[in-house]
Amino acid sequence: MTGFEAANTHSLALQRTVEEQFKVINCTLPELTVTEVFKRQTTIHRHVQVFMDVLDQLEEFYNNLNTIDELCHVVLPMHIDTKTTYRVFKYNQKVFLKISLHPLQPEAVDLVFIGPTKQVAELREIYNEKQDEWDPECNVYTNLLRIFDIIAFPMRPTEQVDDGTNNEENCGICMGYRDDQNRIPIISCDNDKCSLIFHIDCLKEWFSTQRESKKFFTISIGHCPYCKHKISSSFEGMITLSA
């Protein structure tokens, strides 16, 4: 048996093939892991043994994600499961971090910044300059705190008010906190003095009504509905991310 405490949250379903072998038809492990470790297995015994061995190897991966879930205000994915390898969480009122982890390579961390251009550029520069200070003995959460020289990331409120009374958290277009897909506002403009933030779909629809809005490859560029400062975003990437 595996020593990983979360093993009882996982399952593996196999199907016998015409060659008297077995293939995975359903598994709670991340897709990347399934592709890598099961492709050469044939018998039930080998599949189960590999499955249990991989669970042990994934302990650090899941511990890192669990720590972020507990200590950060995670906004995406909306429904967290054992297959998801990323988290999007708040850095401050207008900036969000998207962190992706490789299940079998804990040191492989991909970090994306979402927010106003200036703030994102400053944070990216700090991160790039301090990546060499990453301590493999510490978890991902602790390393991020050290790199950005902060005490903690914003945590999820114990009770989130969704009735439109918290104006700073609400979408500047529809005025609501959650959209019809239960997503919160995550995109803001480049004006430091503008506190508005927008739902992905609301802003995409707003851009579609503006003649001056442009698109370069996957990046859409338009203007804030209120202060008229620039907003740029990859809507396709963000919508796929939040699906």
pLDDT of residue 216: 65
Residue 10 Cα to chain centre, angstroms = 21
- Res 240: pLDDT: 44
Secondary structure of the chain in the HEC alphabet?
CCCCHHHHHCCEEEEECCCCCEEEEEECCCHHHHHHHCCCCCCHHHHHHHHHHHHHHCHHHHHHHHHHHHHCCEEECCCCCCCCCEEEEECCCCCEEEEEEECCEEEEEEEEEECCHHHHHHHHHHHHHHHHHCCCCCCHHHHHHHHHCCCCCCCCCCCCCCCCCCCCCCECCCCCCCCCCCCCCCEECCCCCCCCEECHHHHHHHHHCCCCCEEECCEEEEECCCCCCEEEECHHHHHHHCC
What count of Cα atoms within 13 Å lies in the side-chain half-sphere of residue 28?
14
Task: Specify the pLDDT at position 128.
Answer: 94
Distances (CA, A) of 96 to 51, 82, 233: 34, 22, 13
Q: What is the pLDDT of residue 164?
A: 47
Whole-Å CA distances, 159 to 63, 151, 156, 162: 25, 23, 8, 9
Average pLDDT by stretches of 10, the chain with 243 residues: 57 81 86 75 83 90 94 88 92 90 88 86 93 92 96 82 60 87 81 82 85 70 82 55 44
pLDDT score of 124: 92
For residue 139, which amino acid is it?
Answer: N
Confidence at residue 58, expressed as pLDDT on a 0 to 100 scale: 92
Nearest Cα to Cα of residue 220 among 208, 229, 228: 208
Predicted confidence at residue 33, as pLDDT, reads: 76
Q: Which residue, chain included where needed, has tokens 């991909």?
A: 110
What domains are defined for the chain? 12-58 (no CATH), 68-148 (3.10.110.20), 167-240 (3.30.40.10)
Q: Is the dihedral of CA 227, 233, 235, 241 positive or negative?
A: negative
Residues with Cβ < 8 Å from 70, sequence gap 6 or more?
Answer: none
- Contact yes or no for 221/145 (Cβ under 8 A): no
The predicted pLDDT at position 17 comes to 80
Q: Measured on CA atoms in the order 239, 234, 193, 127, is the torsion positive or negative? A: positive
